């Protein structure tokens, strides 16, 4: 696919989204690109906010908890053909969004804006929090492609705070979507950045091992890297659980403050990966001078704590005597998708959040992916063809599935897996969390919401994996249908002013969930699954609820100027619950008639759980029987040699050695599958 073909498909995508959601094409364009940036870990979240005046414009933003403000501006006219973006264009566009920031910070722009609009909240936030904003990242999102003559953008001299400028044109988006890992690598030239390389010792043994290095990393360099690149420096799994935990480690802070020269001795160090490195030598020995795609897979808390401790106490704290031990493994791009998550998983096993680290290969995701690949959904009225929802367990799967298909096969694939029935991990987390009454997490952004969802589901999986069965999948898809239909419904309301749709949506569905819970009834998810549409009485009830929610959240308490920030607080949800009695009275009788009782829903869930247990047993038995007895003998031998088998596990392996003369029971097969997983973690590989 060429960049021109990519643009054509991209354009069709945002135009279809705009039509489906009854929104403007500009909004769909910005949200589509911003979603890519969030999925690629460039930003933690995104809020659409379109405002333009003479010489001023902004189209979206995200302010994170570390004081980094991301401001987005679109270069968009819904052009029919891919056009060129010149340096003059770039300069003029960045000037408009910079003017918005500076007018908000220095000239109280919010005073002339409508208090109920998103732009008022953003401008007021900038003015109120200008002392705590430590960096501004400006993002230009363009439907054009940079001119071949464009070399670099010469940013204006930084004044009060650092400002960085990033251009995401069609060529860059195309490169990202086409890349194997679907993430722009973080490439570091240490000589250019710091004037020196980092001393290292080679630590790889043998020809077949990955190159590895032991490094004594200066604390100030690590802090500066985190300051510049933020969470992009952290491998996705580490980022997720840093967000779930959040606080600066007190022990790390105290050591930096009181005993900086003992930091190397006290701290466990960090584990990192890279796709490649360049080395050089000086009078001190071997040095690493360049690193391609540096990712910290264990030690995110150390890295973030170094930065925050120094940033908050610059007058009292120095990092000159702070050094951190680092183990750096060089994993080429072909192996990175499989090896890096394993390094991250094993390196983090000593932490409290280990089994629930929720990597893409966690059994929960694999099970949901399995349902989505084999489970056809009923055809809608008037349609003959059954389709499937496509769960993108790992980023880019939907596109990857089509890369080796002919044009005819691609058409067949898209007919069976429509683009509007594709969903990713962060979508799944939103679909679930709004109904399970966590609207605050959804309002905090895609990454933080996913972190909380991962924590919760990870624990539930350990307790009872059979709860995640066919009924759970059907309910999940029904919730997704409701979620996306509600987006469209809110956009079409006469009272909707174009802002805070995500906040209204999250609190609307959470409020409906709460009112149902108090009446001990539930939405008829199977009806929605069977019809693949939201039934009329539920649509009417969503409309009524959304109006009540909008009226409440657009009037935050005195002292809170930004509606978006208000919706992120627990107090917002607590206040909304006080209108539940009013909501109960306002909902039509038809809505209650169409609900199902908790008892009825529990019975369906119980039946599905029983079926899942049977399926798990059959699958385990099939997997065990297909492994030759010689392989089971090898696992037993290596397990006894490595002393990681219990007596019970050793006896089960002796039974497995007798296959096919003796077939283990379903229960025994489940335990044998678990033994295999345990053996693999100990380095035992089946032939």
pLDDT tens digits, residue range 236-250?
555 554 554 445 567
pLDDT at position 244, please?
Answer: 45
Mean pLDDT within 589-618: 82
Residues 545 and 634 in one domain: no
The one-character DSSP state at 556 is P
Query: Does the pLDDT value for residue 423 go beyond 60?
Result: yes
pLDDT at position 94, please?
Answer: 94
pLDDT at position 241, please?
Answer: 47
Q: Specify the higher pLDDT residue, 514 or 345.
A: 514
Question: Quick one: angle between helices 3-20 and 170-178, nearest 10?
Answer: 100
pLDDT at position 179, please?
Answer: 60
Residues 339 and 476 in one domain: no
Query: Does the pLDDT value for residue 321 go beyond 90?
Result: no
% of the chain exceeding 70 in pLDDT: 88
Among residues 178, 197, 216, the one where a domain terminates is: 178
The whole-chain average pLDDT of the chain stands at 83
Residues 206 and 335 in one domain: yes
94: buried, middle or exposed (CB in 10 Å: 19+, 13-18, 0-12)? buried
pLDDT at position 665, please?
Answer: 82
pLDDT at position 103, please?
Answer: 94
Among residues 536, 563, 594, the one where a domain terminates is: 594
Which stretch of DSSP H or E encloses residue 166?
strand 163-168
pLDDT at position 430, please?
Answer: 92
- Does the residue 233 lie in any domain? yes
- Does the residue 54 lie in any domain? yes
Q: Specify the higher pLDDT residue, 295 or 40.
A: 295
- Does the residue 163 lie in any domain? yes
pLDDT at position 563, please?
Answer: 84
Residue 201 phi, psi (nearest 5): -125, 130
Number of domains forming the structure of the chain: 4
pLDDT-derived band of residue 351, with 50, 70 and 90 as boundaries? very low
Residues 333 and 421 in one domain: no
pLDDT-derived band of residue 22, with 50, 70 and 90 as boundaries? low
Residues 459 and 505 in one domain: yes
Residues 134 and 205 in one domain: no
Mean pLDDT within 633-653: 85
pLDDT at position 547, please?
Answer: 95
Sequential DSSP letters for 248-313: PPHHHHHHHHH-GGGHHHHS--EEEEESEEEEEEETTEEEEEEEES-EEEE-HHHHHHHHHHHHH-
- Does the residue 275 lie in any domain? yes
Residues 193 and 132 in one domain: no
State CA 430 to chain mean position distance.
Answer: 11
The residue behind tokens 């290969």 is 361
Q: Which residues pair with 279 in a beta bridge?
A: 288
Mean pLDDT within 318-343: 75
Q: Specify the higher pLDDT residue, 321 or 97.
A: 97
pLDDT at position 205, please?
Answer: 64
CA pair distance 188, 192, nearest whole angstrom: 9
- Does the residue 521 lie in any domain? yes
CA pair distance 267, 252, nearest whole angstrom: 8
Most confident stretch, 114-123, 192-201, 322-331, 546-555? 546-555
- Does the residue 282 lie in any domain? yes
- Does the residue 46 lie in any domain? yes
Residues 342 and 232 in one domain: yes
- Note the pLDDT tens digit of each residue in 495-527: 887 778 889 999 999 999 999 999 999 999 999
- For residue 277, which of 349, 226, 203 has the smallest C-alpha distance? 203
Full residue range of the structural domain in which residue 59 is found: 3-178
- Of 67-81, 237-251, 487-501, least confident by mean pLDDT is 237-251
65: buried, middle or exposed (CB in 10 Å: 19+, 13-18, 0-12)? exposed
pLDDT at position 100, please?
Answer: 96
Among residues 148, 178, 208, the one where a domain terminates is: 178
pLDDT at position 353, please?
Answer: 39
Query: Does the pLDDT value for residue 99 go beyond 90?
Result: yes
- Does the residue 687 lie in any domain? no
Residues 205 and 152 in one domain: no
Residue 606 phi, psi (nearest 5): -65, -45
Tokens read off for 591: 């809505």
Residues 491 and 404 in one domain: yes
Q: Which residues pair with 188 in a beta bridge?
A: 291
- Note the pLDDT tens digit of each residue in 360-399: 678 899 889 999 998 888 887 667 788 999 998 877 788 7
| 509 close to 486: Cβ distance less than 8 angstroms | yes
Residues 437 and 546 in one domain: yes
Query: Does the pLDDT value for residue 311 go beyond 80?
Result: no
Query: Does the pLDDT value for residue 586 go beyond 60?
Result: yes
Residues 416 and 485 in one domain: yes
């Amino acid at each position: 696919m060429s960049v021109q073909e990519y643009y054509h498909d991209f354009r069709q995508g945002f135009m279809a989204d705009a039509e489906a959601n009854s929104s403007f094409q500009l909004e769909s364009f910005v949200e589509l690109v911003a979603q890519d940036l969030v999925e690629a870990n460039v930003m933690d979240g995104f809020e659409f906010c379109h405002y333009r005046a003479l010489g001023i414009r902004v189209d979206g933003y995200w302010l994170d908890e570390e004081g980094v403000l991301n401001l987005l501006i679109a270069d968009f006219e819904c052009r029919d053909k891919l056009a060129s973006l010149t340096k003059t264009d770039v300069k003029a566009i960045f000037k408009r969004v910079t003017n918005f920031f500076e007018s908000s910070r220095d000239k109280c722009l919010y005073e002339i804006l409508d208090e109920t609009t998103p732009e008022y909240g953003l401008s007021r936030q900038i003015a109120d929090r200008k002392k705590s904003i430590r960096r501004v990242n400006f993002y230009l999102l363009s439907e054009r492609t940079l001119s071949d003559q464009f070399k670099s953008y010469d940013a204006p001299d930084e004044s009060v705070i650092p400002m960085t400028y990033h251009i995401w044109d069609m060529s860059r988006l195309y490169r990202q979507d086409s890349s194997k890992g679907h993430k722009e690598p973080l490439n570091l030239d240490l000589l250019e950045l710091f004037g020196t390389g980092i001393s290292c010792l080679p630590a790889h043994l043998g020809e077949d091992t990955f190159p590895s290095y032991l490094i004594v990393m200066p604390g100030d360099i690590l802090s500066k890297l985190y300051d510049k690149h933020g969470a992009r420096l952290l491998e996705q799994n580490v980022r997720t659980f840093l967000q779930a935990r959040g606080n600066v480690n007190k022990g790390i802070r105290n050591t930096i403050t009181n005993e900086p020269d003992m930091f190397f001795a006290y701290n466990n160090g960090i584990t990192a990966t890279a796709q490649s490195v360049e080395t050089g030598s000086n009078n001190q020995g071997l040095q690493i001078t360049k690193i391609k795609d540096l990712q910290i897979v264990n030690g995110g808390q150390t890295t973030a704590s170094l930065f925050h401790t120094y940033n908050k106490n610059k007058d009292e704290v120095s990092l000159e005597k702070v050094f951190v031990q680092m183990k750096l493994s060089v994993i080429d791009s072909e192996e990175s998708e499989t090896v890096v998550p394993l390094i991250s998983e094993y390196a983090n096993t000593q932490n409290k959040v280990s089994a629930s680290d929720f990597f893409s290969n966690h059994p929960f995701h694999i099970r949901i992916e399995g349902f989505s690949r084999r489970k056809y959904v009923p055809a809608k009225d008037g349609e003959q063809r059954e389709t499937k929802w496509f769960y993108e367990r790992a980023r880019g799967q939907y596109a990857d599935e089509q890369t080796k298909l002919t044009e005819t096969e691609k058409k067949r694939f898209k007919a069976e897996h429509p683009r509007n029935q594709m969903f990713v991990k962060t979508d799944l987390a939103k679909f679930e969390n709004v109904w399970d009454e966590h609207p605050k997490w959804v309002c905090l952004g895609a990454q933080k919401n996913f972190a909380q969802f991962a924590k919760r589901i990870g624990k539930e999986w350990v307790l009872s994996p059979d709860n995640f069965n066919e009924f759970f999948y059907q309910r999940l898809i029904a919730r997704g249908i409701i979620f996306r239909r509600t987006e469209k419904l809110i956009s079409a309301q006469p009272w909707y002013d174009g802002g805070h749709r995500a906040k209204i949506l999250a609190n609307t569905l959470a409020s409906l969930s709460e009112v149902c819970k108090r009446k001990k009834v539930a939405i008829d998810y199977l009806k929605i699954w069977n019809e693949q549409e939201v039934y009329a009485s539920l649509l009417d009830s969503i409309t009524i609820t959304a109006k009540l929610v909008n009226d409440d959240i657009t009037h935050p308490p005195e002292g809170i100027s930004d509606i978006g920030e208000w919706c992120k607080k627990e107090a917002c949800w607590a206040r909304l619950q006080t209108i539940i009695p009013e909501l109960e009275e306002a909902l039509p009788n038809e809505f209650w008639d169409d609900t199902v009782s908790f008892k009825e829903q529990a019975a369906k869930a119980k039946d599905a759980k029983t079926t899942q247990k049977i399926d798990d047993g059959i699958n385990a038995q099939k997997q065990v029987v297909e492994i030759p007895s010689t392989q089971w003998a090898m696992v037993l031998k290596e397990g006894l040699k490595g002393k990681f088998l219990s007596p019970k596990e050793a006896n089960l392996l002796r039974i497995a050695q007798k296959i096919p003369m003796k077939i283990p029971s379903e229960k025994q097969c489940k335990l044998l599958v678990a033994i295999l997983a345990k053996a693999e973690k100990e380095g035992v590989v089946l032939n």
